[in-house]
A and B are shown apart, each in its own frame.
Chain A
Amino acid sequence: MFFTFIQFLQAQQSDFKTIDFTKAEYLAERYKGEELTNLPILAHHLTYTLDTDVERFRAIYYWVCHNIKGEYGLMQKNNRKRQKLKDHPAILHAWNHQFKRQVFKKLINDKETLCTGYAYLIKELSRLAGLECKIVNGYGLDGSMKSKNLDIPNHSWNAIKLQGKWYLCDATWSSGFTDVTTELFEFDYDNSFFLMKPSIFIKTHQPVDETWTLLPEK
């Protein structure tokens, strides 16, 4: 009984099952291919005709997941460098600064990025549409790794506040996958990472700050 109650309390996609996302998705489709050079206008176009915050967020999330590609080379380069420089914070900091510029340039020019780029874009578009959104850093666990093997955070995703409640989502993993042999990205929208139930999300996403598991405290 208690367990059912907790399940019911968890912030998840089904909280909005009465809301039809057709219009939000239609808007995302309509503005497919738009450039990232004019974010305020893009945020406005994607959201201004929608009635609820969850629809506005849906349009932003759907647009990002269908327009931004994962860049495997960028990810590998970053991971190698972070691992190599993990004991040299000053050098790592300087490297991160110049790499950050490179990442944003790639995102704006080619609409290709890695997870921080996805999470940042979701946050920025949300902010411009008047929504409160955060970037959560942590450990993303795919089949090949376990958290204990990761000594530095390797993934970022978002928490979004809707109707006064925080929800979790991961646009990077929703958008598609990279074929490791060819290193090519393929769009393959996975809706389950949109406002996923925290008790399932935690299996693949462990935040550095435990508050963002959104699970009830033990």
Chain B
Amino acid sequence: MKTLCIPKQQNVLKTGIALGIFLIIALCTTTVNAQETERTVTGQVTSTDGVVPSATVLLKGTYVGVVCDDDGKFTFPQKLKENDVLVVTSLGYKDREIKITGNTTYIEPFLDDIPLIIIGSLRTKATPTSSDIKKK
């Protein structure tokens, strides 16, 4: 009986190992697949004041990108994959970086305000030019 049992156990063990290996391979393949899945990403840029029109969305490290429409909406012109980073820039706001994860196809980048006090003095016809100052 003993002699019969041993091969059976070995068989179970072998099947187990084979299954394990299969699972690992299967898992790896899925991860690789997920990383390689390219998708079109769309989105809308917002801030505390609502949507941000005309912001620029660029793929980090490149000059591939798009300018948002008046509603802050965009469709990125190139298909993106996991771990790609988009940089959103707009005059008057801080830049925002968004990392593409999982199966992201839609993002809503939120832009933080910049602390800036608006003051203004323009050169008028009465303003002395530097040559006038030098003459003094």
Contacts and interface: CB of A to CB of B under 8 A. Distances in A.
Contacts, number: 131
B67 interface: yes
A9 interface: no
A71 to B, nearest CB: 8
A58 interface: no
Interface of B is mostly: loop
Given A39-B89, A70-B122, A100-B92, A120 B128 contact: no
Contacts of B118: 78, 96, 99-100, 103, 114, 116-117
Interface range on chain B: under 10, 10 to 19, 20 to 34, or 35 or more?
A: 20 to 34
A40 B63 contact: yes
Contacts of A107: 91
Contacts of A71: 122
Interface residues of A, number: 58
Contacts of A153: 119
A120 B123 contact: no
A204 B122 contact: no
A48 B43 CA distance: 30
Interface string B62-85: 010101000000000000000000
Interface of A: 36-41, 44, 70-72, 74-75, 78-79, 82, 96-97, 99-101, 103-104, 107-108, 114-117, 120-121, 124, 128, 135, 137, 140, 142-144, 152-156, 172-173, 176-180, 185, 190, 192-193, 196, 200, 203-204
